[in-house]
């Protein structure tokens, strides 16, 4: 038997074992960061208070009440992290760019511009209004960035998409400032949202978020096999019967919606998609049928942990989670840009 066959058989046996182990570890980490999110804040909660708050609703001690008040924030962090993780995986797959991320491609900034415009000109205030304005802004920005990155004979290359996203993000940030500067009342409302925070979490926001999250994740999982073919190149994907235009529309729609809804409710939190997707690829390889659901779990873990770190560092207040993720994600982006030289996936 040849070495290649032996290697193939070993990989066939090893990967499922590693996948099972990774899933178990991920679920354990998910439980741990959720418990930490419930325990840490302006007041530390003991183990007994944590258990009382979760499992004994009739007992109304102060510690138990604190735990119950933190549950919506924890659930919200898990949902936002999952949405951003899947969005990052989709954007990397569609663009075949290993450093693609909603924040890098300008999608977050497009959503932010439309949200601030809604605040300034339409007096939006509800979660659903934030979401729809953010979705429109994110969609238009994604289309614009892809159109600019597709100009020229070479088409939409990874480097051109990153440059188009960076330029678009800078231009849109200037427009955000132009809208805000003459409106101090809107600026006060917007500046806390802009840095990215989970402090405004509520059950109403979670229930508004949930349908978008479910639809986006289902679409992402359904397009994963075709995106695996796309990773081999357009010609190979066509030869396997993939409808490239339809695939890109549906997968881009899922990625943009997930990013836009999370941005609308929590602010433009960056680098979660980048961190989560690269972590999963490093552990489990490039198969998007595995990467997409695992990126959801990884994103939830990373964002919730970052929120806990921000609350611990900023105690008795908090350091916004968007600041924490930027401090972690920016060095990673520099490292990836140097190591990978912005090559295609």
Domain ranges of the chain: 76-340
Per-residue pLDDT of the chain (345 residues), as tens digits, is 444 443 333 344 345 568 889 999 999 999 999 999 999 887 888 888 888 888 888 787 888 888 899 999 999 999 999 999 999 999 889 888 777 777 778 888 898 899 889 988 888 888 888 899 999 999 999 899 888 888 877 766 777 887 888 899 899 989 988 888 887 777 777 776 777 778 778 898 899 999 999 999 999 999 999 999 988 887 888 888 888 888 888 998 999 999 999 988 888 888 898 889 988 988 888 899 999 999 999 999 999 999 999 988 887 778 888 888 888 877 876 776 676 554 445
H or E element: which one contains 227?
A: helix 203-230
Integer-rounded Cα radius of gyration of the chain: 21
Q: How many beta carbons lie within 10 A of that of residue 285, not counting itself?
A: 13
- Three-class DSSP category at 68: helix
Judge contact between 300 and 78, C-beta under 8 A: yes
| pTM of this structure | 0.85
C-alpha of 70 from chain center: 21
- What topology does CATH give the domain 76-340? ABC transporter involved in vitamin B12 uptake, BtuC (1.10.3470)
State the Cα–Cα distance between residues 313 and 165, nearest whole angstrom: 32
pLDDT of residue 4: 41
Q: Packing angle between helix 288-313 and helix 272-284, nearest 10 degrees?
A: 130
Q: Rounded to 10 degrees, what is the CA torsion of 285, 30, 250, 148? A: -70
Residue 293 backbone phi and psi in degrees, to 5: -65, -35
């Amino acid at each position: 038997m040849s070495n290649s066959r032996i290697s193939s058989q070993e990989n066939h046996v090893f990967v499922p074992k590693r996948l099972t182990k990774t899933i178990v570890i991920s679920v354990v980490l998910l439980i741990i960061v959720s418990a930490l999110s419930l325990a840490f804040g302006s007041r530390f909660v003991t183990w007994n208070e944590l258990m009382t708050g979760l499992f004994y609703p009739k007992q109304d001690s102060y510690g138990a009440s604190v735990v119950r008040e933190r549950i919506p924030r924890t659930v919200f962090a898990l949902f936002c992290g999952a949405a951003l993780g899947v969005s990052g995986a989709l954007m990397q797959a569609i663009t075949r760019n290993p450093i693609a991320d909603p924040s890098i491609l300008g999608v977050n900034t497009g959503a932010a511009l439309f949200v601030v415009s809604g605040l300034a000109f339409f007096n939006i205030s509800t979660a659903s209004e934030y979401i729809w304005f953010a979705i429109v802004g994110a969609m238009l920005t994604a289309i614009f960035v892809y159109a600019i990155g597709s100009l020229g004979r070479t088409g939409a290359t990874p480097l051109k998409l990153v440059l188009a996203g960076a330029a678009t993000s800078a231009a849109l940030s200037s427009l955000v400032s132009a809208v805000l500067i003459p409106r101090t009342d809107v600026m006060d409302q917007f500046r806390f949202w802009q840095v990215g925070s989970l402090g405004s979490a509520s059950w109403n926001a979670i229930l508004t978020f949930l349908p978008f999250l479910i639809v986006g994740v289902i679409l992402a999982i359904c397009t994963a096999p075709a995106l695996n073919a796309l990773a081999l190149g357009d010609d190979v994907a066509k030869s396997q019967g993939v409808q490239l235009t339809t695939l890109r529309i549906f997968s881009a729609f899922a990625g943009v919606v997930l990013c836009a809804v999370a941005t609308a409710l929590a602010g433009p939190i960056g680098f979660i998609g980048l961190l989560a997707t690269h972590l999963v690829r490093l552990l489990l390889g490039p198969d998007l049928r595995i990467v997409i659901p695992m990126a959801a779990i990884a994103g939830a873990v990373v964002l919730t942990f970052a929120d806990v770190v921000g609350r611990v560092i900023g105690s008795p207040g908090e350091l916004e989670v968007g600041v924490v993720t930027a401090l972690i994600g920016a060095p990673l982006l520099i490292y990836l840009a140097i190591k990978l030289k912005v090559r295609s996936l």
